[in-house]
Structure 1
């Protein structure tokens, strides 16, 4: 299945790109995808990286063909 990954902020800098399309195996969890990409691009402070699937911050959603997965850097609120 193909999914689009979008990277923002320092994550995009680590990856050297802001977007890519990957062919993933069916049944890959969001958590496994996050771990895979963090290792691949050696993203620092992995614990604070948030993942949004189709603009939803639900970590337990099952990935499907055509999903958009955003890797969001840590951000401060106020």
Structure 2
């Protein structure tokens, strides 16, 4: 099981700030496919994925129990 945390507008789309998902894959890309299947509204959005407080790319191996999806941040 992996805990996925959602931030910002992603919580509005998923209707939750975090959830537990059964995941048997290995990469971030595989995990995102699972998440988008459950929450299709995320498909068209750009967001970053953090694992162990580091931003990772789609090819990264999932090696943490907590993944965070971060919406784009505006500077000012």
TM-score relative to the length of structure 2: 0.79
User: 2:54: which partner in 1?
Assistant: 56
Task: For residue 18 of structure 1, report the CA deviation from its aligned partner.
Answer: 0.3
Query: What is the aligned counterpart of 1:28 among 15, 26, 29?
Result: 26
User: 1:16: which partner in 2?
Assistant: 15
What are the ranges of 5 or more consecutive residues in structure 1 without an aligned counterpart? Answer: none
User: 4+ residue runs of structure 1 moved beyond 4 angstroms?
Assistant: none
User: 1:74: which partner in 2?
Assistant: 72
Aligned CA RMSD, in angstroms, stands at 1.8
TM-score relative to the length of structure 1: 0.77
Distance 1:57 1:37, change over 3 A: same
User: 2:3: which partner in 1?
Assistant: 4
Distance 1:63 1:45, change over 3 A: same
User: 1:38: which partner in 2?
Assistant: 36
